[in-house]
Structures are given as structure tokens and as C-alpha cells.
Amino acid sequence: MKKVLFLIVAAMMATFSFAQEGRGQQRQRMEFNPEEMAQRQTVQLHSVLQLDSIQYQAILLMNYADAVTMQDSINARRARAEKMRAEGKKPERTRPTEEQMKAMMELQKQREEVRNEQMKQILTPEQYEKYLKHKEEQRKNMRRGGQRVPRGGGQGRMPRQ
């Protein structure tokens, strides 16, 4: 009986230790790098819009500026959380008020309008139309929770025998 109990405890400890390792690896992967993000976004647009080299460089610079802004925002949030932890407080995870949400949405809308104007200046009219369609498809995918891949390699269910 003691051996069985010992084996169960050992198996549970091994499971938990592997789970912790996985989280650490995920955290490393989730580190935000503005250069990589800008490059990835630009390559994706290049594959959709067939950008020439001048367009590619202009959009890469735009994406990099946006990524740096995002990085600054992330760093500010982390600094606030670290400061609270240093003071012995738990970082707050409260929802924004309705007014704050409206302000954030308005700011996002303004940023998107500026970006669209910049893209209109960089792209040809045909490319710009493709760009708008691509953005709309991405928005739909985000609402659905991203592209979902069925389990089991996408083969569907196996028929019963």
C-alpha cells in the first residue's frame, strides 16, 4: 500500500514539475520583440499585397513604430505592477470604467484612421482595397477566436466499425 501511495505522489510531482517547465517556456516565447513583430506583420502583408521594396520598407517602418508604442505601453504596465509588488500590494486587475473604455476605443479608432491614411498613401488603390478586405477577414477571425484547427490532424471523426 505504501509503495502504491508513493508511486502516485511521485507521478503527481512529475506531472506538476513538467507543467511548470512548460509555462516557463511559454513565458519566454511570449516576450515581446518590436523588431520581430514588425517584420512578421510586414511579411504577412507582403504575401497578401505583393509589395514592392519601397512599399515594404515604408510599411516595415510604420509597423516598427506601432510595435515600439505597444512595447512602451507593456513596459509601463509591468513597471506599475512591479512597483505595487515592491510595496507589498497585489497588482490590480480591475476592469476599466465605461468612460475609460470609450476613451480607449476612441483612441484606437483615431490610430486606425491615421494608419489607414498612411496605407492609402503607400499602396496602390488595388492594394489598398485588398488591404481593407484582409483587415476585415482578420477582424472576423479574431471575433471567432482565431483560426481553429480540428484535433486529430484535421481528419474529422473516424467511422465506427
Class of residue 71 by CB neighbours under 10 A (exposed 0-12, middle 13-18, buried 19+): middle
Backbone angles phi, psi at 132, to 5 degrees: -65, -40
Q: What is the pLDDT of residue 10?
A: 62
C-alpha to C-alpha distance for 122 and 131, rounded to whole angstroms:
11
Class of residue 37 by CB neighbours under 10 A (exposed 0-12, middle 13-18, buried 19+): middle
Q: What is the pLDDT of residue 141?
A: 87
The radius of gyration of the chain from alpha carbons, rounded to an integer in Å, stands at: 23
Q: 21-68, pLDDT tens digit by residue?
A: 454 555 554 677 899 999 999 999 999 999 999 999 999 999 999 999
pLDDT of 15 strictly over 70:
no
pLDDT of 161 strictly over 70:
no
Report CA torsion sign: 48, 64, 144, 119: negative
- The answer to whether 121 and 131 are in contact (CB under 8 A) is no
Q: 110-159, pLDDT tens digit by residue?
A: 999 999 999 999 999 999 999 999 999 988 888 877 555 555 554 444 44
Q: What is the pLDDT of residue 123?
A: 95
Q: 79-121, pLDDT tens digit by residue?
A: 888 888 888 888 777 788 899 899 999 999 999 999 999 999 9
C-alpha to C-alpha distance for 111 and 61, rounded to whole angstroms:
16
Average pLDDT value for residue range 6-23: 57
